[in-house]
Structure 1
Amino acid sequence: MDILGWVLVILLFVIGMAGTIYPILPGALAIYAAFFVYGFFFSFKEFGFWFWTIQSLIVIILFIADYAVSAWGVKRFGGTKASVVGSTIGLIAGPFVIPVYGLIIGPFGGAVIGELIAGRSLEQSIKAGWGALVGLFTSVVVKIILQLVMIIAFILWLVF
């Protein structure tokens, strides 16, 4: 049973990290679930108030940062709310419509289409699309860092 427990924990960590790139995967929630799997298979006694508080705060920050950083990229490049909504729709739908490349084309195209629908020029719309990509890549970097912090904190909590 110990091996099964560790396999599930590691699998959830891998799914969580893959979720930083592929938005349909649960990301931080998979990593958070790994802590419960560990607790059910082994013990919850290693995790006290501070562990759960820190991990929960990181998850909350991840959810807020994910949207805020993406929106920042669009706004920084002159986009409006229409391109934020469009890039979000493109981020979710893109990988399904165009496998592999949809993760990049989706947010860019969604932001451009959102801006064009809002009556902006093609030049302004393309600029907002680039902002969506900048926001996406920045968001991915932030998620990778924070999710690695979650995993490292988990390991350190077990060791010390």
Structure 2
Amino acid sequence: MDIVGWTLVVLLFVIGMAGTVYPVLPGAVAIYLAFFVYGWFFSFGEFDIFFWILQTIIFIVLFIADYAVSAWGVKRFGGTKASVWGSTIGLIAGPFVIPAFGLIIGPFAGAVIGEMLTGASFEKSLKVGWGSLVGLFTSVVVKIILQSVMIVLFILWLVF
């Protein structure tokens, strides 16, 4: 059973990290769930209240930062709520519509279309689309860092 437990924990960590770049996967949720899987297979004894508070804070910050950083990129480049919504829709739908490049084209096109629907010029809409990509890439970096911190804290808690 130890092999099954560790396999599930590692698999959830991999899914979590893959979720940083592929929004359909439950990134932070998978990593958080790995802690419970470990507890169910082995023991919750290694994790004190400080561990759970720290991990939960990081988990919540991840969700807030994910949306806030992406929206920041669009807004920083002059986008409106319509372009934020368009970018978000493009981020979710893009990988399904254009499997190989949809993760990049989707948010960009969504932001451009959203901004053009508000009556903005094509040039401004392109600028906002670029902002959506800046926000997306910044968000990915933030998620990679925070999710890596979650995993490292888990390992440190087990070792020490």
**How does the TM-score come out when normalised to structure 2?**
0.99
SS of equivalent to 2:53: helix
Structure 1, residues 58-104: CA drift from partner, whole Å, max 9, x if none? 01000000000001101111111111000000000000000020000
Task: Identify the residue that residue 51 of structure 2 maps to in structure 1.
Answer: 51
Distance 1:140 1:37 in 2: 25
SS of equivalent to 1:88: helix
Structure 1, residues 109-158: CA drift from partner, whole Å, max 9, x if none? 00000001111000010000000000000000000000000000000000
CA positional deviation for 1:105: 0.2
Task: Identify the residue that residue 133 of structure 2 maps to in structure 1.
Answer: 133
CA positional deviation for 1:16: 0.1
Q: Does 1:65 align with 2:85?
A: no
Which segments of structure 1 move beyond 3 Å, counting only runs of 4 or more? none
Unpaired stretches in structure 2, ≥5 consecutive residues: none
In structure 1, what residue type is equivalent to 2:96? F
SS of equivalent to 1:12: helix
Unpaired stretches in structure 1, ≥5 consecutive residues: none
In structure 1, what residue type is equivalent to 2:67? Y
SS of equivalent to 1:45: coil
1:1-160 paired onto structure 2 within 5 Å: 1-160=1-160
Distance 1:37 1:57 in 2: 19
CA positional deviation for 1:6: 0.3
Instruction: Give me the CA root mean square deviation.
Output: 0.4
**How does the TM-score come out when normalised to structure 1?**
0.99
Distance 1:25 1:105 in 2: 18
Distance 1:145 1:82 in 2: 29
SS of equivalent to 1:20: coil
In structure 2, what residue type is equivalent to 1:53? I
Distance 1:77 1:9 in 2: 40
Percentage of pairs with the same residue: 79
Distance 1:6 1:115 in 2: 47
In structure 2, what residue type is equivalent to 1:82? A
CA positional deviation for 1:28: 0.4
Distance 2:145 2:138 in 1: 11
Number of positions where the alignment pairs a residue of Structure 1 with one of Structure 2: 160
Distance 2:21 2:100 in 1: 11
